[in-house]
Amino acid sequence: MFKTYQLPLGFGNLDFEDWARGLISAFISGGSGAFAAGVVNLANHKGETIWRMEFWATVSSTFVLAGLLNMFAFLRTKSFPDMKQIEKTTQITTPATADSPKIVETVKETMAVKIDPPVQVDK
């Protein structure tokens, strides 16, 4: 049905999904601040409206620049994806007796583990 491939050099153990979401989020949050500043800047210019092409050229270029600056700041703090984390939760139940109530103990363990390569299926 689908062909799946293992990424070389252990890249399959990295959490690219979370890292890519962080990059996109940083870009959008930086750009949205620039867009808001462009809209507020309309009050300072007489005769400037959102219907003029100059306004959209200025706002879009500031959006891209501010988004890139925010994205590079994100890359400074998290330049490479983390290892995939697995959370294992174990619940231990002690039965209630006449002398003591029922006790439920939950143990949560987080670890980075090697992920087995996906199975390749050809059809």
pTM to 2 decimals?
Answer: 0.56
Task: Render pLDDT for 59-95 as a digit per residue (tens, 0 to 9).
Answer: 888 899 999 999 999 989 888 787 776 677 777 777 7
- What is the pLDDT, as a whole number, of residue 70? 92
Would the pLDDT of 5 be above 60? no
DSSP conformation letters of 71-103: HHHHHHH--SPPBPEEEEEEEEEE---SSS--E
pLDDT over 80 at 23, yes or no: yes
Q: In this structure, are residues 31 and 71 in contact, taking their beta carbons and an 8 Å threshold?
A: no
Helix, coil or strand: residue 14: strand
- Say which residue, 30 or 96, is predicted with more confidence: 30
- DSSP letter assigned to residue 121: -
